[in-house]
Amino acid sequence: MSGFFGSISKSDCVSDVYYGTDYHSHLGTKRAGMVIHDSGETFRRAIHSIEDGYFRNKFVKDLKDFKGCSGIGVISDTEAQPLLVNSHLGHFAVATISKIDNMDELETMFRKKRQHFTETSQAGVNATELVAMLISAGETFTDGIENVYRSVKGSCSMLILTTDGIIIARDKLGRHPVVIGKRDGAYAIASESSSFANLGFTIDYFPGPGEIVKVTAEGIEQLRKPGDKMQVCSFMWIYYGYPPSYYENINVEDCRYRCGACLGHDDDIDVDLVAGIPDSGVAHALGYANERKLPYTRPYIKYTPTWPRSFMPQHQELRDLVAKMKLIPIPALIGGKKAVFLDDSIVRGTQLRGNVQDLFRAGAKEIHMRIACPPLTYPCEFLNFSRSRSSNELATRKAIQQLEGTDKVDYKDYSDSSTEKYKAMVKQIRENLGMTSLRFQKLDDLVKAIGLPKEKLCTHCWDGSSYF
Using H for helix, E for strand and C for coil, what is the string for 199-210? HCCEEEECCCCC
Position 459 scores a pLDDT of 96
Cβ atoms 391, 424 nearer than 8 A:
no
Residues of the chain with CATH 3.40.50.2020: 253-463
Report CA Rg, the chain.
23
Position 118 scores a pLDDT of 84
Position 323 scores a pLDDT of 63
**In CATH, which superfamily holds the domain spanning 2-230?**
Aminohydrolase, N-terminal nucleophile (Ntn) domain (3.60.20.10)
Q: How far apart are CA 253 and CA 182, in angstroms?
A: 23
106-112 CB contacts, 8 Å cutoff, 24+ apart:
106/130, 106/134, 106/151, 106/152
Position 311 scores a pLDDT of 46
Collapsing DSSP to helix, strand or coil, 151 comes out as: helix
Cβ atoms 30, 78 nearer than 8 A:
yes
Integer CA distances (angstroms), 146 to 99, 128, 142, 150, 467, in order: 17, 15, 6, 6, 18
DSSP 8-state assignment for residue 266: T
* H-state helical runs in 179-302: 235, 252-265, 281-292
Q: How far apart are CA 172 and CA 169, in angstroms?
A: 8
Cβ atoms 75, 83 nearer than 8 A:
no
Adjacency order of strands within the sheet including 338-343: 273-276, 338-343, 366-371, 437-440
Cβ atoms 168, 8 nearer than 8 A:
no
Q: How far apart are CA 241 and CA 238, in angstroms?
A: 7
pLDDT in tens, 236-265: 999 999 999 999 999 999 999 999 999 999
Mean pLDDT by 10 residues, the chain (468 residues): 95 98 93 94 94 92 96 93 96 96 93 83 83 97 98 96 97 97 98 98 98 98 97 95 97 98 96 95 98 97 69 57 78 97 94 93 98 94 66 92 92 94 98 98 98 97 88
Position 320 scores a pLDDT of 63
pLDDT in tens, 328-372: 999 999 999 999 999 999 999 988 999 999 999 999 999 999 999
Sequence-ordered strand ranges (E) for 126-256: 154-162, 165-169, 179-183, 186-190, 202-205, 212-216, 219-224, 232-233, 246-247, 250-251
Position 303 scores a pLDDT of 86
Look up the CATH number of domain 253-463: 3.40.50.2020
Nearest residue to 5 (alpha-carbon basis) of 222, 180, 172, 175:
180
Position 307 scores a pLDDT of 60
Q: How far apart are CA 25 and CA 32, in angstroms?
A: 9
Cβ atoms 305, 332 nearer than 8 A:
no
Which residues are paired to 423 by β-bridges? none
List the Cα angle 168/174/177 in 5-degree steps. 70
Residues of the chain with CATH 3.60.20.10: 2-230
pTM summary value: 0.93
Collapsing DSSP to helix, strand or coil, 313 comes out as: coil
Position 310 scores a pLDDT of 47
pLDDT in tens, 172-203: 999 999 999 999 999 999 999 999 999 999 99
Nearest residue to 385 (alpha-carbon basis) of 273, 281, 241:
241
DSSP 8-state assignment for residue 68: -
Integer CA distances (angstroms), 232 to 102, 146, 447, in order: 20, 19, 12
Which residues are paired to 330 by β-bridges? none
Q: Is the peptide bond before 279 cis (omega within 30 degrees of 0)?
A: yes
**3-state DSSP: the chain helix, strand, coil percent, rounded to 5?**
35, 25, 40
Cβ atoms 161, 6 nearer than 8 A:
yes
